[in-house]
Structure 1
């Protein structure tokens, strides 16, 4: 493998349901990065792939759902893990499929939850497990965007 100083491009899908909850899934204890932590759907952008293509692929691979619509990019951050820089773009998205029954990659994710704006403190657990507040910050950003959009719809009526 060739060493590179180029950051690894990452995407995250902050999947919303009709109740404006955001989908999270727990990484399995055997994962090298952030074992046992809550995560959003997403991953690395493969060579030759656009960010949107990566979002489509990751949503399908990790849940079995199909990406229907990208609503907004709510985060664009850099982070480091195992000495490698990552640049991640996280998007609020809507999907098609049975939202009550995601097809988790069981070797990678062990459970899932739908998180309301009032429940984001459950994601504090990540920092206690050696992770960070990155996922919580992304979910909070998604909820803030959703609340702002709901406010715009109310004032437009």
Structure 2
């Protein structure tokens, strides 16, 4: 089994063992080297009106790659293609009091990347950003106090640790 998939499997098992709800996210990179972010709707329960990466909660019995594939399709209409690196793993507690372990990866997707199909009621816009665009967005959004996902996307975009080939996912939906 590929090292990335093994790592994701282990991260999912340890989150379960630690009694944490697992969340998975993808910094999706396009062929031009840009990353995709989407703005959460102002009425959503967690992180309203914030820029975010694609992702969500892992359902019981679901693997992290399968959850990520589902979330990519639900939130954008695209199909998860490759996971190229694990970018960040951290624990957090939401305003709802639920403890979570988030696993964020760098990934690619297939589909009409120029026309994401935003999940109705959850997001208000989606955009591709290059490094300069992320820096500008970060400067603008830091004043609001919630720029964590912008910083994560910027770090993922500029990281020299990304693997060019990545892992083609063994998903039954392919």
> Secondary structure of 2:55's match?
strand
Q: How far apart in 2 are the matches of 1:124 and 1:45?
A: 32
Deviation at 1:142, TM superposition (A): 1.1
- Cα 1:125–1:33 change in 2 (3 A) is farther
How far apart in 2 are the matches of 1:44 and 1:124?
A: 29
What secondary structure sits across from 1:87 in the alignment? strand
1:28-68: per-residue Cα shift (whole Å, max 9, x none)? 11111111111110000110011111111000110110011
Q: Which runs of 5+ in 2 are unaligned?
A: 1-17, 165-174
Verify: 1:9 aligned to 2:22, yes or no. yes
Of the structure 1 ranges 113-122 and 86-95, higher mean CA displacement relative to structure 2 is found in 113-122
Tell me what 1:119 maps to. 133
CA distance in 1, matches of 2:39, 2:150: 13
* TM-score (structure 1 length as normaliser): 0.83
Counterpart pick for 1:96 among 110, 116, 119? 110
Give 1:155's aligned residue: none
Compute the displacement of 1:120 (Å): 1.8
Q: 2:148 — aligned with what?
A: 134
Corresponding residue for residue 63 of structure 1: 76
Quote the RMSD (CA, aligned, Å).
Answer: 2.1
4+ residue runs over 3 A deviation: 123-130, 147-150
Deviation at 1:143?
A: 1.0
Q: Which residue of 1 aligns with 2:158?
A: 144
Task: Map 1:79-94; keep pairs closer than 5 Å.
Answer: 79-82=92-95, 83-94=97-108
Matched-pair contact (CA < 8 Å) for 1:36–1:129: no
Q: Within 5 A, what are the aligned runs for 1:9-88?
A: 9-82=22-95, 83-88=97-102
- 8 Å CA contact retained: 2:29, 2:107: yes
Q: CA deviation at 1:134?
A: 2.2
